[in-house]
Structure 1
């Protein structure tokens, strides 16, 4: 423990230097959580990132390339939001109608607002809707996929490449957990995107409410515990919104090639984290993985915050408690002893820092062996 009286004898610059040194040493302690959590995660690759700073708190194989499946639609959506007006009307093509996989039951010739399509692809994960958006922006899906790849590289996602707007498997369609965290962090800065991915349901256009879509959504509502009113309404497939307190999104995905992928986010006490898991074995392990990672990420955040608070309490002159009544002789003695040359202060702070470092290093080694 740093003695308050000793700290009171240091000048303000020396106190600041000591605080910075201790923060540098102590900030690394929580990263040992990586060693413990590896065995609790089923996914092949994962990462936890601070939304505000982009700092990685936890990771495994975060730069390993994997198939993303429908979390691809995060890129499709943010490009559309930034480049077009939500009120624009999109014409559905035959190519979009025939897209395999999850579907909004769109038909060639359907006209639908870009706003509705974005909710349809992010909540219901409609592949046909994703293709319709791509063709609306870039004429054809291939050109749009090139735009997707260029876009993500421009924001720092260097190890991703896309060949379609929906996430259907292709050997040249891949990403990494780290890249998806970067992409998601960027997208969540957009107010509309952030609001959209928090919706559990969305009222659908009655003209496009077909029997196949209604049957599917009725089943989804029952599975997710959402009251079914019989009205045209699409259900968000992201179960995290109902499983995790403070969840703020974002998107799940699945193909046989990718297995289960999931990008989740949550806010706790004003701090938001983004977690990504790629290639988890099944839907249950994917959500268990993301919940474990978010819990551990918030634990690390709290531990770091508590450490900073403890250091500030030690260093702050407001916490230095001196005797309120001193006789004249003691006052003079204290005054004479409290004046330490700056050179000695630097030496004292350096020695104290080294001792603190050795103690913490020894402590961390003991913890890692437990």
Structure 2
């Protein structure tokens, strides 16, 4: 046998062994491609990014910006507020609801126009009402981005019109979508296909149809927002729910976004189904305590074997113990903490709570730190209340 043939044979054998080992150990999900310049797929409940393509590349996001505009307005304003349209808002370029200067509309209806028809006039009116000015509202948008953990984003306006310092990434927008979709008012608005809204200027009502074709193209689709400018090209965030699991997809600069979103959503459901890791009321191994909440997490088949559970018990004199918590069950995927569930006595009143997931937390890339910050504040307040 020639030296060349011998080397070729060895290389072929090594390739076969690598392929076999990859299959045996679990080499990850099958590859999937898109036409997008950047893309991301996130499990909404857990916040786990299960797919990312150039996910941290800062890019223009066009009207996907209005997802941030809507959630800030919902959280910081009142849906029953009456919003008065300024001349600046009425004259805003781009997609429009054709609002007139001086016109009044409640914030909820204006949010429908913002998200279904992508009205830039509505975006400006909302920003001026909630933030005092467009500039003041941009400060609120960036504050919210920091809270959510959007580390590569900056917002300069509420509409998404191209500006030099207005950008985000596929990963950041996925985090924003997951955060926003947990708000019932936001979810209600973005899943609406059509709505009629009173028109104070004419005898006929506004009739707004949602520009998001995914609501009709993909079974279970329930959001979120389209976007386009000449510089950003086609941008889309969509979401869908099947069997209690909700995914959100982001594509930036994608000429075939409807097809790519359907493909990515199906890929997510096929490869990362929700897996039950903890059942409410079940005993924690090695203790007399039970889990106070259910806990599920999106996992590849081969990842189930990498899940570990660590029981941490609290001292009897601790604040947690005084509040009825005996400890917590920490869940890890490999070396990464993915969440925790409080442990309580078997007869604890907390097991009778209506919301079965109220006491657990899912850990995403930024979720642990946010949960800890909230937990610290919560416990300081309770400590003050319980102190003699």
Q: Tell me the distance in 1 between the aligned counterparts of 2:97 and 2:83.
A: 14
Instruction: List per-residue Cα deviations over 1:187-206 (Å, max 9, x = no partner).
Output: 11111111111100111223
Aligned equivalent of 1:233: 207
Q: Tell me the distance in 1 between the aligned counterparts of 2:27 and 2:181.
A: 26
Higher relative contact order (CA 8 A, sep 6+): 1
Aligned length: 262
* Structure (1 or 2) with the larger CA radius of gyration: 1
> CA 1:105/1:48 → structure 2, altered by over 3 Å: closer, same or farther?
same
TM-score, length-scaled by structure 1: 0.67
> CA 1:197/1:209 → structure 2, altered by over 3 Å: closer, same or farther?
farther
Q: Tell me the distance in 2 between the aligned counterparts of 1:307 and 1:99.
A: 50
Aligned equivalent of 2:301: 307
Q: Which consecutive unaligned segments of at least 5 residues does structure 2 have? A: 1-21, 275-297, 306-388
> CA 1:27/1:136 → structure 2, altered by over 3 Å: closer, same or farther?
farther
Q: Tell me the distance in 1 between the aligned counterparts of 2:222 and 2:58.
A: 26
> CA 1:306/1:177 → structure 2, altered by over 3 Å: closer, same or farther?
closer
Q: Could you say which structure has the higher strand fraction?
A: 2
Contact 1:66 1:279 in 2 (8 A): no
Of the candidates 277, 290, 293, which is equivalent to residue 264 of structure 2?
293
Shift of 1:247: 0.4
Is 1:37 the equivalent of 2:32?
Answer: yes
Matches within 5 A, 1:349-364: none
Of the candidates 252, 261, 273, which is equivalent to residue 247 of structure 2?
273
Aligned equivalent of 1:127: 120
| Counterpart secondary structure, 1:47 | strand
Contact 2:26 2:302 in 1 (8 A): no
> CA 1:29/1:276 → structure 2, altered by over 3 Å: closer, same or farther?
farther
Q: Could you say which structure has the higher helix fraction?
A: 1
> CA 1:43/1:232 → structure 2, altered by over 3 Å: closer, same or farther?
same
Q: Tell me the distance in 1 between the aligned counterparts of 2:26 and 2:303.
A: 15
Shift of 1:30: 6.6
Matches within 5 A, 1:57-72: 57-72=50-65
Instruction: List per-residue Cα deviations over 1:308-365 (Å, max 9, x = no partner).
Output: 7997xxxxxxxxxxxxxxxxxxxxxxxxxxxxxxxxxxxxxxxxxxxxxxxxxxxxxx
Q: Tell me the distance in 1 between the aligned counterparts of 2:225 and 2:110.
A: 15
Shift of 1:98: 1.0
Q: What RMSD, in angstroms, separates the aligned Cα atoms of the two structures?
A: 2.5
> CA 1:152/1:202 → structure 2, altered by over 3 Å: closer, same or farther?
same
| Counterpart secondary structure, 1:122 | helix
Instruction: List per-residue Cα deviations over 1:162-197 (Å, max 9, x = no partner).
Output: 111000011110000110011111111111111111
Q: Tell me the distance in 2 between the aligned counterparts of 1:89 and 1:273.
A: 34
